Structures are given as structure tokens and as C-alpha cells.
Chains A and B, each alone.
Chain A
Amino acid sequence: MTIVQTCPAPIMQHETVQMAHGAGGRLSQALMQRVFMPHLHNSFLDLLDDQAKLDLPSGRIAFTTDTYVVSPIFFPGGNIGELAVNGTVNDLAVGGAKPLYLSAGFVLEEGFSLAELEVIVKSMAEAAHRAGVMMVTGDTKVVGKGQCDRIFINTSGIGVIREGVNLSCRNLKAGDSIILSGTVGDHGMAIMTSRTGLSFQSRITSDCGALNGMISAMLDAVPFTIHAMRDPTRGGVAATLNELAQSSSVGIEIHETTIPVKPDVRGACELLGIDPLHVANEGKLVVAVAAGDAGKVLEVMRNFDHGRDAVIIGSVVDDHPGMVVMRTVYGSRRIIDLPLGEQLPRIC
């Protein structure tokens, strides 16, 4: 009789992220096989090379990167993974590019739940599928407990810019109409009201979504007179309008009554003393278009979920270059300034 003595086999089935998951060894591979590949696999990733080798159609390339550190990582209407895909897709699309390929870099905190990671990865795959882009390369690092907040994601993206399209925040011209694709403040207030500590409950859901389908249709209909597009994320519509006005050295005048705000978002903003124009959005679009074509653009936008509530909120003017002015319901005017950093709930 022989006794085979073996060292105990290392545990391969973990419930949480281990330092070794990022060390490049067997656990790294297991993480790849168990969590990432089932959802993300495609002809590029399947090769497991260190780089993706891409054939790009001719034309100018748009390239962008963004890092996502949102807290909480799951919020009503989405999660950090979905946000990371849609955000980068939108950054490409607003430049007039057709988004094609994405990369994803993950920083995971030791102890982070693998089940939650899988949910995030799965929704990234779904978001990429919806937006018609491919996740072609990626990376994962693990840091010690307390060195990051559960999960950070960086996504970069490449797209090809349509021939003849020249969108830039410097292109605004006096007389342009300013279109907003829908209600403001949904994402930021969804995040704020779902943070623990604030005694709030709301059913506000994030507007997190990819805009490339709608933008593509808009450019099909009106290829040359859309002058600029922006997705008003951090700093909200106020920050975006200010950037546009400053970059183009023009004034922008908007009308208070036209700005769409969902009722519960408005309620939460009133309670917390926050201006909805300063609150972040993740699936909205601000468009500057020659006034004559504004109607056509609106019509196209309203065919899409993300543009159903699209409205003209104002116009580009010669006066007060670099400044955004709002006409109030009472006929008075006030400056819409850049918000100052983080939006804080106030009592006074």
C-alpha cells in the first residue's frame, strides 16, 4: 500500500477578490476565465494577446479615455461598468465619430465581491453590445484593502470620424439654436439620493445610456450644420454651456421655462438646495445647430428614447461673449455660472 502525500491544493474558488487575482498567475487566469471571458469574449479578446490588432476604416480617428470612480457602484438605473462603457462611447460620439473599439482597465480592491464584479462585467458587455462597440483589450490590477473603493474602471475608446463632419466646441455661431435632449439632473440626483447617510428615498433613476445611435441619425439628417455636441456630465448643463460659450467666444441665452426637469428630481433638488442645471447627466446631449435645421434635428432626436423630450432651450447670441444668461419666467436675466466643485446639500 502506498500513501501519496500531497500538499493541500490552493483554493481556486474564491468569493472575493484576492491579491493573487492581480498577480498574473493561476488565479489571474481563473479570474479571466470565470468572470471576464464568459461575458466579454470576442475574436480579439479570445486570442489573449497583450494587444489588440485592429483594422480601421479610413478617415480621422477619435480617441478618448475616462476613468470611473463613482460611489455607490450600483445605483438606480445602472452601475459603474455600464457607466464606463456608455461614457466613453458618448465621448466619441459627440465628436462625430462612430465608436468602434474599447479597452477596459480595472482596479479592484482586495476583498471585493466576485459576484458583484461579474454583474458589473456582464452589464459592460451588454452596454457594449447595445452601443455596437467591441471590448478588445483589458487589464486588471488588485490593490490592498483600503487602497481603492471596491472598483475603479478606466475605459478608452477609438472611433472613426465621419467624412465632412466637423464638430467642435469652438464652432458655435450667433443665431445657432441650442437643443437639450431631455430632462436634467437625473444621474446626479440618482447618485446623491442613493448615497447612504442622506435620509432620502427616491425612485430617481440615472439616465445612463449610449447616445451614438441617436447622434448618428442626427448626423445623417443634418451632416453639416450641427456645429457642436456635448454630453453634459459633471457640472451639468451649466458647465457644458459655459464651456461652449467660452470656447467659441459667443454668448448663450437660455429660457428657464424650457428646461425639462423630472418632478422627483426637482423635489430632491429643492430639498437639498441644488440647482438642477449643475447636476451631472449621463445620457443627455447638448447640441448647437444652425437655427434653420433645428427643427429637423429635433424631429430625429425625438424618435429615440434618449431624445424623446428634446427641446430647444435657447440660442447663441452676439452679446456677452463667454457668458451664459438665463431668462427667468419673470423676464429678468441671470448669469448661469460654472458650478463650483462638488454639489453639496445645503440647509441655508
Chain B
Amino acid sequence: MSAPLLITFDKVWKSYGEGEARVHALAGVDLAIRRSEFVAIMGPSGSGKSTAMNIIGCLDTPTAGTYRFMGVDAGRLDRNRRALLRNIYVGFVFQGYNLLPRTTAAENVELPLIYRGVSARERRELAMQALAQVGLVGREHHTPAELSGGQQQRVAIARAIVTKPMLLVADEPTGNLDTARTHEIMELLTRLNAELGLTIVMVTHEADVVGYAERTVRFLDGRVASDTAKAEAA
């Protein structure tokens, strides 16, 4: 694999609490992800998957060890610098969609562009493009309450890709969806990965979702237990 490294964990620890009550959500994680990879992260509940995702997406910083994003030591950046990194390079998709309520699909998708200072006209255009990419033409004026779960997740994906990011961080994106909707969303993510070269790191519990990824990383007790390519996993 010759694509440049996008993400490197070097003995990353993330600990909460003090003394007796101290919990290590991550206990020395080593991990490297290259550009345009599609990685699934699995593991039992509480194994540190979400914690790792937050660090990957520059939302959080390690307690110890180094996390590098595009070669930058992101763990040492202040919160506003990390906000800028997120705004430019990262898109987030959450299990609970996390759309702004009472706000139309188009406005939700435009949101990251507002913080980039993009003009209103250009925002509208880019939002329409993103909504078209996720197959939601004609729904741009609907609010989340007027959309189904699958459609809401598509809006969230549109919002994540509207800035043309390098990395998509998805924590259980299909956790709230039925099987048919799950496969639609996974096909969409696969297409974005293939067509745009978008790097995708996705947490999932579902075995049939894992099949869409090229690579599976399993967490156990805050450590990487296994790291397998698709062919081996199948």
C-alpha cells in the first residue's frame, strides 16, 4: 500500500478519573491508517472504540502517547486549532444523526461552510451538490422531524462531505437503522470511498456491515486485539 499515512497512533493512552477509580479507555494503542482506506472498528462495549474515534476526529486528545493527523501532532493542538482541522479535513457521522432540529436539510448541510466563511450562494450550491450525492434531491427543505431515520443519516453524511474532507469518522452510523436502510447507507459510504477517495473510519457492531470495509480493527480492553484485511476476514 503506497498511499501516504493519514492517521498514526503511537502508544496512545486515554484515562479517566483519579486513583482507585482511574479507568483506561485506551491503554497503549498503536494504529496507522492510510489515505483512502475504509476501516471498520469492532469490539465489545466499553473497549474504547468511541474514545479512539474522538481522538481520530481531533475532538479529543490522548492522555499519553502521540496522535498524528497528516503528520501533525494533533494531541498538542489547542481546541480552536483542532476545530479548524475538523472543519477542513474531517466529517462526522454519528449513530444518533445529530442534525439541528427545526432546521431544514439544506441548512443543516450548509452549517460547516458557515464556519468556513463561504458565501451564502456558494453554500447553497455546495449543499445541493452534497444532497444530490447522498440521493436526497427534493428533500432539501424538510426538517429532520419530516425525514425518516435513513434520510436523516443521509443528511448527516451530506453535512460531513460538503466540505470535501479527507476523513469521514462514523461511530455506529447504522446503529439506529433497519437492515435494508443499513445496506443503503453502507453502499453510499462505499461509493464515496471509491469515487472520492474519502478515507472512512467506521465503528460497527454488525458483522454484515464489516464486509463493506477493506480492513477490520478489533479493540479489546483499550487495546488493538487484531487488525485484518478484508480477504483474510472473509
**Are A and B part of the same complex?**
no
Show the binding face of B for A, using Cβ within 8 Å. Answer: none
